[in-house]
């Protein structure tokens, strides 16, 4: 992945967007590869190719490496590296998207996006400030989708995407959606001991998955054996990360005509943090075939 790295720049704590771990570069490189292949393949057939970034950020992100004080070795200064975020990556794609829509809740990040937009005079770039669920609902409902194809990137910090939003996207039959699902977020909310799970956590998972069937699927009283025979342990979450990921995949498959096996993204310690899904909303075999071919070649690479 090409990066625009500016070593040694000072951070601007007001607008800099510091996020990501080792899997962030991988995630963004997969998205970039898909966007490029998507536009290359569809450009001859469609005059309207759109990109919708529903959790757009600022266009770039900073990575800080802390200063190391002098010991026997000389001190090392703090290093700040800027890398492209998804919004910048999408604008750099060639062949270019005909329209790009950034959605972002944070006011200062929207201002950063406006400055990014100003660098691309003549391009159709819209910035919608607000909650992504509301923005997707109002924006894509107002659009006519005939003759258009789009890629949407859902890259929330946590469990911010409502199931009803996915239903809305599916209805367009025109959008391929890359959805970063926070396994760590779900794992945190679905506490092992169900008594520690309040109504708010319960509702957040149900809102994200569009069903409360996860309760029966993930919680049980496991059987244990001892010298006196078998007995039920306390009722608890028995689902591990794999079971949770499979449940999410099953739910997505119940909605979208095609969902590719996800890419698991881990943190520096090897702990699974996210699953990156590609779901295709267009049921036409040709559209599914193409998106699957591109998606698989990228996800399996």
Interface ranges with ligand SAM (CB under 6 A): 19, 28, 55-57, 61, 85-86, 103-106, 109, 131-132, 155-157, 160
**C-alpha to C-alpha distances, 224 to 125, 203, 228, 229, 240, nearest whole angstrom:** 59, 31, 10, 8, 18
CB closer to ligand SAM out of 237 and 262: 262
CB closer to ligand SAM out of 128 and 260: 128
C-alpha 167/C-alpha 151 separation (Å) is 15
- The pair of structure tokens assigned to 180 is 């970063």
Q: Shortest approach of ligand SAM to residue 39 CB, angstroms?
A: 18
- The pair of structure tokens assigned to 34 is 């898909």
C-beta of residue 46 within 8 angstroms of C-beta of residue 149: yes
Residue number of the CB closest to ligand SAM reads: 85
Q: Shortest approach of ligand SAM to residue 132 CB, angstroms?
A: 4
Q: Shortest approach of ligand SAM to residue 253 CB, angstroms?
A: 24
Q: Shortest approach of ligand SAM to residue 103 CB, angstroms?
A: 6
Q: Shortest approach of ligand SAM to residue 20 CB, angstroms?
A: 8
CB closer to ligand SAM out of 185 and 282: 185
CB closer to ligand SAM out of 131 and 137: 131
CB closer to ligand SAM out of 107 and 144: 107
C-beta of residue 52 within 8 angstroms of C-beta of residue 175: yes
* 165 closest CA partner among 212, 129, 104, 207: 207
CB closer to ligand SAM out of 157 and 231: 157
* 255 closest CA partner among 158, 169, 175: 169
Q: Shortest approach of ligand SAM to residue 76 CB, angstroms?
A: 27
CB closer to ligand SAM out of 38 and 55: 55
**Exposed, middle or buried: residue 179 (CB in 10 Å: 0-12, 13-18, 19+)?**
buried
C-alpha 298/C-alpha 26 separation (Å) is 11
Residues with Cβ within 8 Å of 165's Cβ and at least 6 positions away in sequence, in order, are 132, 133, 136, 137
C-beta of residue 262 within 8 angstroms of C-beta of residue 283: no
Strands 229-232 and 223-226: antiparallel
Q: Shortest approach of ligand SAM to residue 120 CB, angstroms?
A: 16
CB closer to ligand SAM out of 50 and 109: 109
| 3-class DSSP assignment, residue 61 | strand
Residues with Cβ within 8 Å of 174's Cβ and at least 6 positions away in sequence, in order, are 145, 148, 149, 150, 281, 282
Q: Shortest approach of ligand SAM to residue 158 CB, angstroms?
A: 8
């Amino acid at each position: 992945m090409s990066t625009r790295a500016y070593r040694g720049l000072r951070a601007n704590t007001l607008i800099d967007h510091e996020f990501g771990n080792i899997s962030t570069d991988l995630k963004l490189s997969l998205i970039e590869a898909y966007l490029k292949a998507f536009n290359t393949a569809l450009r001859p057939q469609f005059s309207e190719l759109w990109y919708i970034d529903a959790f757009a950020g600022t266009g770039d992100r900073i990575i800080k490496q802390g200063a190391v004080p002098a010991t026997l070795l000389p001190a090392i200064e703090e290093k700040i590296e800027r890398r492209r975020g998804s919004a910048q990556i999408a604008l750099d794609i060639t062949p270019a998207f005909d329209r790009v829509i950034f959605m972002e809740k944070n006011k200062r990040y929207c201002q950063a996006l406006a400055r990014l937009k100003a660098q691309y005079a003549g391009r159709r770039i819209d910035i919608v400030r607000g909650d992504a669920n509301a923005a997707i609902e109002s924006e894509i409902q107002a659009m006519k989708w005939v003759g258009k194809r789009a890629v949407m990137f859902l890259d929330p910090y946590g469990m911010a995407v409502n199931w009803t939003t996915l239903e809305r996207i599916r209805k367009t039959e025109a959008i391929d959606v890359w959805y970063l699902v926070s396994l760590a977020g779900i794992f945190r909310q679905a506490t092992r001991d169900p008594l520690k799970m309040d109504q708010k956590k319960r509702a957040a998972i149900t809102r994200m998955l569009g069903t409360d069937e996860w309760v029966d699927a993930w919680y049980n009283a496991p059987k244990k054996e001892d010298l006196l025979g078998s007995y039920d342990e306390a009722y608890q979450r028995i689902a591990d990360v794999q079971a949770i990921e499979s449940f999410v995949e099953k739910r997505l498959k119940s909605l979208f005509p095609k969902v590719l096996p996800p890419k698991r993204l881990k943190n520096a310690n090897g702990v699974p943090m996210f699953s990156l899904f590609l779901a295709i909303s267009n049921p036409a075999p040709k559209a599914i075939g193409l998106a699957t071919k591109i998606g698989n070649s990228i996800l399996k690479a």
